[in-house]
């Protein structure tokens, strides 16, 4: 396996070694290591059923570490002003810094071979194409070369998961780039050309349709090792494919204008059969301390590494959490939302280490207040925030054995995310059910937040306001979802913020094409195909 390791400084005095990229999954590496790699050896390796199954399972890990990795997400979630950090790891400071008057992000993507900032563009590209390449290898072995993995059931399982990951990779490319290559098991890569983002989106949805067909027709359970400790039934895989198809369609728009053109009736069909339907579940994995499985967003945006942006904190408690960050900071909150509450968290040791207030009966479930200022004011005082995201801390004290140490259950796509997509579809589609939308919004708004319920009588505008509030909270840490949501609502991103990525300069150079970019003083994104 080819890996690139880097030592990076994170926050005040902490150092950690993280794998920046993996060309192929570890499970597959041991089977594919040959003395003289070439096409003949690859074909021979992928004629071995055990190798085919290992590669199928390994695609999941490659996709997971890309989907919640910081290589591209670090820039996106801070550009969205969902999280905040002034460290320049993963180019966060560079891409989330704003003009002096606070009204504009003037930084375009640095899409040239001489710029360090290009790594934020290439991370998704390399990770998703690594996933896609391995998934297509499995599909070619099964569908073209008729490899059988022990029996028909196990063969269909490997085929279904490979197609799921092919769809997931294409989804990532469609949501983040203006164009990409569409690859399947019969593609002649020597003759491949770019496809526009809409074609990539449609190819991803078609792949999920195929997954739904396969998972519905075949009974299986995925091995626990494929998500490092979680298993999923064929029924759950079909639900997951429905949710991912809904996400692909709903989060594809680059602007509010494009958002109006979404086929929301189709989104409602997919989301209604997603992971919040029937026996609902969250799709995730088990972290191993970031050795091989890493929810790097949560790992970085713990309260002493990054914070929730004051824009979001102000939504939670406008009376106490001012935005932009004021000199002297924001006082302890008193939010009506139970997810923040009075901001208390942890115990005396947590207070000493993180500047929190030991938990009271009104301590929040998702957020904590800290008196500490993390960031160098010279880098922009607006990066500061007093609110940390603690929802997924397993210990309740931010000790290293919780998810903030890289261990334990880690979220990727949630049932609540599916509910909120379905709620939006009901609000936006012709003849939508506003009462149903209100019910879905209230699952988190009332069930977790303890806030006054939404109702059909709120109308479209009132329901959208409550829906968007829930998304600001519930989408945190779920990959680039906060960015995808913010770019498609009116006035969601600051002017100048790029709304998609260009094909990487390294790819353009190989094809002899001119470099280009999005954002800054130029167009924020490509014209809708």
Q: Are 145 and 469 in contact (CB under 8 A)?
A: no
Q: Shortest CA distance to 126 belongs to which of 226, 54, 20, 235?
A: 20
> In sequence order, what are the residues at sequence separation of 6 or more whose Cβ sits closer than 8 angstroms to the Cβ of residue 279?
none
Domains of the chain: 3-261+282-295+497-510 (1.25.40), 415-473 (no CATH)
Q: Are 263 and 270 in contact (CB under 8 A)?
A: no
C-alpha to C-alpha distance for 483 and 476, rounded to whole angstroms: 10
Residue 17: exposure state from Cβ atoms within 10 A (0-12, 13-18, ≥19)? exposed
Q: Are 307 and 79 in contact (CB under 8 A)?
A: no
For 290-320, b where at least 16 C-beta lie within 10 A, e where not — what string? Answer: bebbbbbbbbbbbbbbbbbbbbbbbbbbeeb
> What is the full per-residue pLDDT of the chain (529 aa) written as tens digits?
333 333 233 333 332 222 223 333 333 333 333 344 445 566 777 899 999 999 999 999 999 999 999 999 999 999 999 999 999 999 999 999 999 888 999 899 999 999 999 999 999 999 999 999 999 999 999 999 999 999 999 999 999 999 999 999 999 999 999 999 999 999 998 899 999 999 999 999 999 999 999 999 999 999 999 999 999 999 999 999 999 999 999 999 999 999 999 999 999 999 999 999 999 999 999 999 999 999 999 999 988 899 999 999 999 999 999 999 999 999 999 999 999 999 999 999 999 999 999 999 999 999 999 999 999 999 999 999 999 999 999 899 998 878 888 999 999 999 999 999 999 999 999 999 999 999 999 999 999 999 999 999 999 999 999 999 999 999 999 999 999 999 999 999 999 999 999 999 999 999 999 999 999 999 999 999 9
DSSP characters over 246-265: HHHHHS--SSHHHHTTS-HH
Q: Are 175 and 484 in contact (CB under 8 A)?
A: yes
C-alpha to C-alpha distance for 165 and 61, rounded to whole angstroms: 10
Predicted model pTM = 0.92
Q: Which two tokens stand for residue 414?
A: 């949630």
Q: Are 140 and 163 in contact (CB under 8 A)?
A: no
C-alpha to C-alpha distance for 395 and 458, rounded to whole angstroms: 39
């Amino acid at each position: 396996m080819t890996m690139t390791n880097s030592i990076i400084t994170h926050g005040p005095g902490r150092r950690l070694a993280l794998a920046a990229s993996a060309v192929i999954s570890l499970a597959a590496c041991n089977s594919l290591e040959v003395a003289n790699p070439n096409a003949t050896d690859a074909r021979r390796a992928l004629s071995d059923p055990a190798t085919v199954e290992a590669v199928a399972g390994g695609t999941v890990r490659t996709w997971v570490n890309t989907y919640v990795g910081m290589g591209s997400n670090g820039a996106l979630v801070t550009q969205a002003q969902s999280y905040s950090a002034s460290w320049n790891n993963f180019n966060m400071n560079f891409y989330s810094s704003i003009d002096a008057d606070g009204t504009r992000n003037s930084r375009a993507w640095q899409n040239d071979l001489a710029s360090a900032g290009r790594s934020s563009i290439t991370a998704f590209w390399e990770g998703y194409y690594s996933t896609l390449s391995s998934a297509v290898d499995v599909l070619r072995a099964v569908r073209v070369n008729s490899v059988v993995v022990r029996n028909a059931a196990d063969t269909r399982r490997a085929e279904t998961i490979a197609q799921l990951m092919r769809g997931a990779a294409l989804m990532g490319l469609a949501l983040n780039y203006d164009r990409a290559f569409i690859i399947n098991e019969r593609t002649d890569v020597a003759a491949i050309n770019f496809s526009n983002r809409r074609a990539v989106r449609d190819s991803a949805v078609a792949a999920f349709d195929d997954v739904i067909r396969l998972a519905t027709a075949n009974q299986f359970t995925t091995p626990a090792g494929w998500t490092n400790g979680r298993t999923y039934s064929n029924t759950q895989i079909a639900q997951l494919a429905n949710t991912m198809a809904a996400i692909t369609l709903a989060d594809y728009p680059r602007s509010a204008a494009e958002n109006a053109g979404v086929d929301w009736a189709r989104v409602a069909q997919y989301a209604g059969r997603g992971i919040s339907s029937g026996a609902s579940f969250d799709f995730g994995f088990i972290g191993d301390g970031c050795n091989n499985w890493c929810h790097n967003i949560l790992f970085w945006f713990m309260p002493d590494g990054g914070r929730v942006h004051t824009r979001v904190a102000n939504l939670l408690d406008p009376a106490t959490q001012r935005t932009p960050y004021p000199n002297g900071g924001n006082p302890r909150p008193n939010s009506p939302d139970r997810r923040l509450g009075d901001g208390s968290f942890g115990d005396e040791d947590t207070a000493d280490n993180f500047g929190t207030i030991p938990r009271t009966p009104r301590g929040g479930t998702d957020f904590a207040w800290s008196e500490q200022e993390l960031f160098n004011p010279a880098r922009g005082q607006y990066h500061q925030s007093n609110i940390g995201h603690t929802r997924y801390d397993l210990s309740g004290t931010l000790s290293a054995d919780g998810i903030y140490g890289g261990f334990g259950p880690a979220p990727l796509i949630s049932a609540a995310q599916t509910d909120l997509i379905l709620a939006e579809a009901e609000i936006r589609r012709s003849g939508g059910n506003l009462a149903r939308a209100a019910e879905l919004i209230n699952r988190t708004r009332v069930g977790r937040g303890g806030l006054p319920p939404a109702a059909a009588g709120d109308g479209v505008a009132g329901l959208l306001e409550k829906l968007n509030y829930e998304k600001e909270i519930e989408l945190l840490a779920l990959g680039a979802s906060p960015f995808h949501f913010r770019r498609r609502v009116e006035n969601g991103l600051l002017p100048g913020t790029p709304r998609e990525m260009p094909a990487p300069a390294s790819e353009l150079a190989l094809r002899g094409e001119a470099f280009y970019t999005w954002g800054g003083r130029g167009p924020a994104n490509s014209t809708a195909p």
